[in-house]
Chains A and B, each alone.
Chain A
Amino acid sequence: MSTISDIPITVDNGTSPSGHPVLRALLQEIETLLHNLAETGTGGSVDLRSLPLFPGDYQVLQDSLGQGEIQVTLNSLGPSTIYETAVPGVWWITHRNEAEEVVAEFIEVTRCPAILQTPAEELPQAIAQLRDLDQQLSET
């Protein structure tokens, strides 16, 4: 089946009017979240899809924040990319579905995004798995 990407359309990725007022407001918000993280240990997140950004504004924002040392790909229900920007504590998270459509996009201000941490509910299963492995090794 053909997809919409097969249709030869060129998208004009315009940006907002001069001075980037929306992007500057967003950077202020991120700065406030960083202050909170430093002082209380609790950061927060910004839902990028809820903001009235021009298509080109995303690129400007990504270029401005840059990319840091860590990049992770999560393969569950489609690929998700999670990376720390060049600004420590500011993570860019993009969730895609199996068709690689973006379903959610966040900037998360945190030491480590929750989705990267092992779920506590899976620890008993992990212990059982190790016991099984040990059992199998003992039988060989």
Chain B
Amino acid sequence: MSEKDTLLDNLGRHGISRRGFLKFCASMASMMALPPGAATVMAETLGKARRPSVIYLSFQECTGCLESLTRSFSPTLESLIFNAISLDYQETLQAAAGTAAEAAREQAMKDNYGKYLLMVDGSIPTRDGGVYSTAAGKTNLETLEDAAKGAAAIIAVGTCAAFGGIPYAKPNPTGAVPVSDLIHDKPIINVSGCPPIPAVITGVLAHYLTFGALPELDSNRRPLAFYGDTIHDRCYRRPFYDQGKFAKTFDDAGARQGWCLYELGCKGPTTHNACATTKWNQGTSFPIESGHPCLGCSEPGFWDAGNFYSALSTTTAPLGAWSGAAIAAGAAIGLAAGAASRHTQKEAKQAHHVVTAEELKNKEEQS
């Protein structure tokens, strides 16, 4: 595909008709919760879109985000959008390596200065000058600052790039920070999730290509079309929540009947994401449909928010709060916190009933 070709020209050469393209746009409009009729507008505009340059940088991450974006069992509609962009640099996917790869990135940045989209996954270590993650002799910090200068916009892919993620978890030994802590003069869109839903990335790119701008964002800079509702808002188990029917354990009668997983720690009520409608694994299900509570992986700080299996109503760190007060109020309250801690430990010991071999034997004989 040359620079002058439109997306529709390219698709036409691959035997894709206008009806096929309209079908694609209908799917995209559906995912982005655009109003009826938007598919036609999108088809007209997106069809004329030129090929934008995309630089994709990976920092402190596990490659799960890229796996999510690229792993599919067969070519999907989403792949069409990726065919429509010029992915000029991606360390994992590109064939080039070493000096040649770095030179290609420099050239793409120079040729498309001010116009390319910068996609980033992973957080950026800043402690000790950012030495904890380097590539080609440059720290992630230097690479990001350099690449951000000529970017039209930055898409932070995954919770690590968006909010710091797992590397940011206490005690954060590398001083990891999200992209938005370092870059302040470019539009940044956060596509959070661990990993993020691939269709969300496609949707953001399609929106950018269609409307020439990033979509409307929420207060955490996430696209409202995908993060406007909570998992709870769109959860098919919601009627059970409304009726007060909750599974108490993972294998009780309520769990088997598909009751609400709130008491098993579901973070759906406070988690904004599109899993409940977009789903995973070829549209098969999403965590709650598979019987597991939502962990809240698209929210800032989910990694340090306490036990995944405690209900939202359970306070997460009472002792931490007391300790904070102790610093302010002096040693007396500090002693109180210490006493509270010992009391909690004692309670835990009492609650932990140890069964002896003799008791087990008696129980067996009784049954």
Contact = CB atoms under 8 A, between A and B. Distances in A.
Interface of A: 1, 3-4, 12, 14, 16-17, 21-22, 44-45, 47, 49-50, 52-55, 74, 76-78, 80, 95, 97-99, 101-104, 106, 114-115, 119, 121-122
B277 A54 contact: no
Interface residues on B, range: 35 or more
A52 B74 contact: no
Given A97-B76, A99-B73, A119-B18, A104 B238 contact: no
Contacts, number: 94
A103 B236 contact: no
Majority secondary structure, A binding face: mixed
B77 A77 contact: yes
Contact of A121 (B16, B18, B233, B276): B18
A49 B73 contact: no
Interface centre among B16, B17, B23 (most CB of A within 10 A): B23
Interface of B: 16-20, 22-24, 26-27, 30-31, 33, 36, 40, 72-77, 80, 233-236, 238-240, 243, 257-258, 276-278, 281-284
Nearest to B22: A115
Given A76-B17, A122-B18, A104 B258 contact: no
Contacts of A52: 233-236, 238, 276
A21 B239 contact: yes
B30 A104 contact: yes
B239 A45 contact: no
Contact of B27 (A22, A76, A104): A104
B30 A99 contact: no
Nearest to B276: A52
A86 B343 CA distance: 68
